[in-house]
Structure 1
């Protein structure tokens, strides 16, 4: 299988799992679970699950060079940890629609950086896909009657931070894949992210008072909404450029909307269906980019690593 095709299917798997996890998170929030506590539990459990798996099945992946630890600390805190905090803070200051829309400005930031600094080709197909996915995301989150975007200065600032940290995670993560296994990178990213969050939300506060059923949901989120999709995302990123990776990941709100419709009975309004269609067209279009534009230049990647 061609690397670009393999990367696309890895990203489809990641976006599907992330999209489903939104419904699971809604169930937990309906049980009055604090979103900040959920982030702490998510990162801590994800680190513990991946650490246990690697220790038993692939212990050689636990080892990293001391010189790589600063890079992993930055990626884990400024990438994994910051994107979680900024997204939830944006929701608290505005609403879910605004938070989702602002976070999905990340592909545009990735594209601008790649076009200007990494000299990635600015083909009409890429620009069209960028416009379609951005416009489709806007329609999905604002196409609900009575809904829409609600912006204040703190919410706008944190929403832009959320987009920037997601873009940073993609671009900076690409650099590490040249020298490290993606599971090793994830383990240490989860570890550093969990360390920071456990300082802000101590485990004796975040992890107490939950029912057994809620812990089943926490475990699901740790494995199927964190470890596996992030692993798939890195696998896709290893095969494709950051621009195509981030654009393909915009399928997540499409999956979330469809799953909410099927599982929770939420209504899909006409404008939301148009938005879903625009994103799917954009994602399909970006897969039509010529092969030489999809794969990163090996020499430049090795120099970055």
Structure 2
């Protein structure tokens, strides 16, 4: 695969993953509205279900290799840092930030992750980012900020603890973006995503077990839960880790800014959301920034 095709494919995977997260967020909103479910319960459920599904797929593909990652003690620090410092922490601290502030604030803080990734690459790998890449990252973050707040800074409610939780969620994005790379190359994205989801699900169950159901279960609730677990978690994270194998973590983290874009577009027919001129400008800024950043990496 030539460089241009690899970068295009990786960027596409990241964009689709972001869209799936956006759809998952909308279904989560519908679930909370119609059933008043607990956010921590849906987190435990989506991670556990996604982990079981992906591990099952990995076993069907290669039964003999399903436990290979556990055969070397050298893998353990990387595996557990990826699972609990990355996959679990991004879910947990994101919801903590929402509880302490609001979803707009939490989302914006989480999208500080590209800055942390640039700093990591600069400090630990001596990779100086291209000036153009820095500009495109800043523009994408500005677009996300304008899209979520509609330019109204007063919507942001930040306490010190909310700020800390949001920044920890951003750090968790950096961890699951960079840490599992050696394991991905050796054991495959499907296997590592499966173990990541499953073990993070086990951790989530300590805080809020899946059997603690406090809402009425019917067909629609099951549909919401399965969509969130399969589309917005299992498939989205699988595409994301595949993207990390093809392109830089910086491009992936910016390309997934399609998450809030998808949420906005889907909210128009479902919730009667009306786009303002500023929202349209923000959407254009994000889309153009992602495209230009991808092309900058190909240069």
The TM-score normalised by the length of structure 2 is 0.91
Matches within 5 A, 1:89-104: 89-104=96-111
| Superposition deviation, residue 139 in structure 1 | 0.5
In 2, the alpha carbon distance for the partners of 1:155 and 1:112 equals 22
In the TM superposition, residue 113 of structure 1 has moved relative to its aligned partner by 1.0
**12-21 or 204-213, which deviates more:** 204-213
Distance 1:116 1:138 in 2: 27
Per-residue deviation, residues 90-146 of structure 1 (Å, max 9, x unmatched): 111101110110011011111111122222242122011111011111101111769
Residues in 2 aligned to 1:245 and 1:221: alpha-carbon distance in whole angstroms = 21
**8 Å CA contact 2:55, 2:191 repeated in 1:** no
Whole-angstrom distance in 2 between the partners of 1:73 and 1:209? 35
| CA distance 1:210–1:61, change in 2 (3 Å) | farther
* Equivalent residue in structure 2 for 1:27, among 20, 27, 30: 30
Within the candidate set 47, 50, 60, 1:46 is matched to 50
Of 10, 14, 19, the residue aligned with 1:16 is: 19
Superposition pairs for residues 125-144 of structure 1, below 5 Å? 125-143=132-150
Which digits, 9 at most, give the CA deviation of each residue in 1:156-202, with x for residues without a partner?
11111111111111121334323221111111111210111111112
- 49-58 or 220-229, larger mean C-alpha shift: 49-58
- Aligned partner of 1:262 among 269, 285, 290: 269
What SS does structure 2 have at the residue aligned with 1:289? helix
TM-score, normalized by length of structure 1?
0.89
Could you say which residue in structure 2 is the equivalent of 1:62? 66
Q: How does 1:230-241 map to 2 (within 5 A)?
A: 230-241=237-248
Kept in 2: contact 1:141–1:148 (CA 8 A)? no
Q: Which moved more, 1:73-82 or 1:138-147?
A: 138-147
Q: What secondary structure is seen at the aligned counterpart in 1 of 2:187?
A: coil
Return structure 1 stretches of 4+ with deviation > 4 angstroms. Answer: 144-147, 206-209
| Aligned equivalents of 1:51, 1:42: Cα separation in 2 | 14
Other-structure match for 1:250: 257
Residues in 1 aligned to 2:125 and 2:214: alpha-carbon distance in whole angstroms = 43
Q: Which moved more, 1:112-121 or 1:18-27?
A: 112-121
Measure how far apart 1:82 and its partner are. Answer: 0.9
Q: 2: CA distance between counterparts of 1:176 and 1:252?
A: 26
Conservation of the 8 A alpha-carbon contact between 2:109 and 2:170: yes
Aligned residue pairs, count: 292
Unaligned runs of 5+ in 1: 293-305
Deviations 1:54-107 (A, max 9, x none): 233432441222322342222111111111111111111101110110011011
Match of 2:166 in 1: 159
